[in-house]
Amino acid sequence: MIGFYDYTVILTYVSLASSVIGMTQAIHGRFKVAVVLLAFSGLCDMFDGKIARTKKNRSDDAKAFGIQIDSLCDVVCFGAFPALICYLLGVRGFLGMTVIALYCVSSVIRLAFFNVMEMNNALITEEGEKFYRGLPITSMAVALPLVFMIQFFVPDRVFVVCLYLLLLVVGLLFIVDFRFRKPSNLTLAFLVSAITAALVLMLLYTRYPIHIRRAPMISQIFKSFR
């Protein structure tokens, strides 16, 4: 079997599986579950690199494989998955498709650029501190759950506008060239705690319906061509 099979890539695969399952839930309108799974994918992505670095005897090929597989999974988890959620929640029409396309293209550019910089060890200061150029794509696993919470307190149209702005702003920040200091363990712990608390409150105490403009069923699409 091709590839590298050890504990260094397990969390990356768990993150991908979580997002794929989340896509199926979003398609069936279970958006709360989908958003929780997106956040869980982000949690896995936060720590997969730390776990991988605990294996000191990795070959250069194994390290390169880890970088590539992480970015390939991120395309699905934090590129396609959030775009699908936003589409199903109402980001539609020509403008919506344009914003979604720009977001997805920006996410791919950002990941490819990160891979090049990472393989050249260009994302580290002279003092040894690591940083990002552009907003990390994993940020969508934090931003979308927070924006999703707005849906329970504002009219549907306002919520959909927020989704448009989220995709546009975050997508642009993926490719804008600015330095973003890598978060410390304390910062990561705070983010995880805050998002977890928000999601738990959402699942336990929100009973508001989520109104969406559903996409036409496959059977309806075929009927339109008859």
Structure tokens at 209: 């319906």
If you ran DSSP here, which 8-state letter would residue 79 be given?
I
pLDDT (0 to 100) of residue 121: 64
Q: What CA–CA distance (Å, rounded) separates 14 from 47? A: 12
- Predicted confidence (pLDDT) per residue in 164-174, tens digit: 999 999 999 99
4 is a domain residue: no
* Burial class (CB within 10 angstroms; exposed 0-12, middle 13-18, buried 19+) of 193: exposed
Range of 99's domain? 9-207+214-224
pLDDT (0 to 100) of residue 216: 45
Structure tokens at 56: 């000191």
1 is a domain residue: no
CATH number at residue 160: 1.20.120
Torsion angle of C-alpha atoms 154, 91, 34, 70, degrees rounded to 10: -130
For residue 3, what are the contacts with CB-CB under 8 A and spacing of at least 6? 65
Q: How many domains does the chain have?
A: 1
Instruction: Determine contact, residues 21/37, Cβ cutoff 8 Å.
Output: yes
98 is a domain residue: yes
> Residues in the chain with pLDDT < 70?
121-129, 206-226
153 is a domain residue: yes
pLDDT (0 to 100) of residue 100: 97
Residue 104 sits at φ, ψ, to 5 deg, of -65, -40
pLDDT (0 to 100) of residue 129: 63
- Predicted confidence (pLDDT) per residue in 129-179, tens digit: 677 788 999 999 999 998 998 888 888 889 999 999 999 999 999 999 888
pLDDT (0 to 100) of residue 99: 96
Terminal-to-terminal C-alpha distance of the chain:
46
131 is a domain residue: yes
2 is a domain residue: no
pTM: 0.84
80 is a domain residue: yes
Q: What CA–CA distance (Å, rounded) separates 200 from 62? A: 37
Please give the sequence-ordered ranges of beta strands (E in DSSP) within 4-160, or none if there are none: 131-133
- The candidate with the shortest Cα–Cα distance to 42, out of 144, 118, 122, is 144
Instruction: Determine contact, residues 37/27, Cβ cutoff 8 Å.
Output: no
